[in-house]
Amino acid sequence: MLFNSFHFFVFLAVSVLLYYGVNQKFRQPVLLAASIYFISMLSPNLVLFTIAFIVLNYFFGRALEKQIDTKWRLKIFWLAIYANIGILAFYKYINFLFENINSLLNLFSANSNLPYLSLIVPVGISYYTFQALGYIIRINRRAEKAERNFVNFANYLAFFPKFLAGPVERSNHFFPQVNARIEFNQENISAGLRLFLWGMFKKVVIGNNLGAPVGLVYGHMDNYSGLPLVLIFSFRPSTFIVIFRDIPIWHWE
């Protein structure tokens, strides 16, 4: 489900209406249901992986907070760190590792090669892995208590507006917001809509149009030299995004 698709606009509108239309105690389940639906539109298998990841870190956080013994607390902490980094490294770098091992074996004329794994890297894994790591580290430092409400914690890692492209949210910033009582405010809705539309303008109008020529040059760099390469490297889409990022959003009266 792309952010600039009609499907997403309908989904977002329904989610906002349901969020403000239900009782306060049902708002977090509504957000979680919306996030699960959003993830399922990307891949049903990704839903299972994300839920398993959430459950794993939820219990890591609870176990870390409850453990008084320093020795066992340290073991749980490092187990959580290694588990999260291990999952991320496995999906993103296992075939890269196999490729380098195979290259090394070929140098010595070895007859056997390690087979590549048919893996699809879970979408957004880097973002929610770093969020989980920050959460675990803060609990270990006693800077924060583990979140007891599973739905709130699930929203922390799976919240659909930041699931695909971040940003990496700190848990001590996120949980106070979801636990606060929020009333409908037309000014907040208008400001959020302006911010959303301005971001979409930068993505669709600026980024996508500049992405085509940049991608063409990056994909065939041997065919270009001199001024075209200087222009492409100097004015790639990210440069324009940084320039436009600091331009104030227009105001509607």
Q: Are residues 71 and 142 in the same domain?
A: yes
Q: Are residues 118 and 208 in the same domain?
A: no
Of the pLDDT bands very low, low, confident and very high (cuts 50, 70, 90), residue 246 is very low
Q: Are residues 126 and 233 in the same domain?
A: no
- Supply the range of the domain harboring residue 124: 6-181
DSSP 8-class letter at 225: -
Q: Are residues 218 and 100 in the same domain?
A: no
pLDDT at position 146, please?
93
* Cβ-based neighbours of 213, under 8 Å, separated by 6 or more: 232
Give me the count of residues in the chain: 253
pLDDT at position 31, please?
94
Higher-pLDDT residue of 115, 86: 86
Question: Tokens in use for 115?
Answer: 């087979």
Q: Are residues 123 and 68 in the same domain?
A: yes
Of the pLDDT bands very low, low, confident and very high (cuts 50, 70, 90), residue 250 is very low
The upper half-sphere exposure of residue 173, i.e. CA atoms within 13 Å in the direction of its Cβ, equals 7
Higher-pLDDT residue of 99, 244: 99
Q: Are residues 108 and 211 in the same domain?
A: no
Does residue 154 sit within a domain?
Answer: yes
pLDDT tens figures, 210-226: 777 777 777 777 777 77
pLDDT at position 129, please?
94
Give the integer Cα–Cα distance in Å for 162 and 169.
Answer: 9
Q: Are residues 135 and 18 in the same domain?
A: yes
